[in-house]
Amino acid sequence: MSSATLQTIDTPDGAFTILSDDDQRVLVSGWTVDADRILGRLRAADRPATVREGRTDAAAAVLAYYDGDLSAIDDVAVSQQGTPMQRTGWEALRRIEPGHPLTYAEFAAELGSPSAVRAAASICARNAPALFVPCHRVLRTGGALGGFAWGLEVKRSLLSRESGVPALLG
């Protein structure tokens, strides 16, 4: 990939940075102002040669999401490179409805491999376009938060926003 655009916007959960390719597909996103941290979420072979600051189409969807339109992020195009199982998993994450999180075991079952809970967790951990591919909607059994690359406070806030009920601590 030759070039990409980086944009940081303010959200109630802090600064949110989006890296989009020339076709406006989100490659990486997360709650940070650190461009190196954003780029570090991509495999070296998938990093753009040139990154410029500018405007991304996805920023408007993030602002709409935070203004209460939880479906605004659903149709934002993303581009992720991974194994066939990872790509299937990332597509499945996009089908999890706001306010209806799954456990890692339920997510593994959704992928057709009920015993592959660790693989399901790994799919979430390797998800680069956070929010647009809502890995935050997968929890530990019993409702504990589990992990999240951008911090448990952000995960808790997103789940609370989507459900109207405070998320469990974990």
- How do residues 108-142 score in pLDDT, each as one tens digit? 999 999 999 999 999 999 999 999 999 999 999 88
Report the pLDDT value the prediction gives residue 11, as an integer from 0 to 100: 97
Query: Does the annotation count 135 as an active-site position?
Result: yes
Sorted by sequence, the CB contacts under 8 Å of residue 82 that are 6+ apart come out as: 90, 126
Report the pLDDT value the prediction gives residue 1, as an integer from 0 to 100: 57
pTM, whole model, 2 decimals? 0.92
- On whether the CB atoms of residues 15 and 8 are closer than 8 A, the answer is yes
CATH no., domain 84-163: 1.10.10.10
In which region does residue 144 sit, left (phi positive, over 0), alpha (psi from -120 to 50) or beta (all else)? Answer: beta
Report the pLDDT value the prediction gives residue 167, as an integer from 0 to 100: 44
Taking alpha carbons only, the member of 108, 99, 95 closest to residue 141 is: 108
Report the pLDDT value the prediction gives residue 99, as an integer from 0 to 100: 93
Average pLDDT, the chain: 93
Report the pLDDT value the prediction gives residue 61, as an integer from 0 to 100: 98
| φ and ψ of 167, to 5 deg | -70, 155
- On whether the CB atoms of residues 76 and 29 are closer than 8 A, the answer is no
Report the pLDDT value the prediction gives residue 141, as an integer from 0 to 100: 85
**Radius of gyration, CA atoms only, the chain:** 15
Alpha helix ranges (H) inside the chain: 35-39, 58-66, 84-93, 104-110, 117-125, 152-163
Report the pLDDT value the prediction gives residue 168, as an integer from 0 to 100: 46
- On whether the CB atoms of residues 149 and 130 are closer than 8 A, the answer is yes
Q: How far is the C-alpha of 106 from the C-alpha of 116, rounded, in Å?
A: 10
Residue 95, both tokens: 């089908």
Catalytic annotation, pick one of 135, 138, 149, 167: 135
Domain ranges of the chain: 3-73, 84-163
Ranges of residues in the chain with a pLDDT under 70 are 1, 165-170
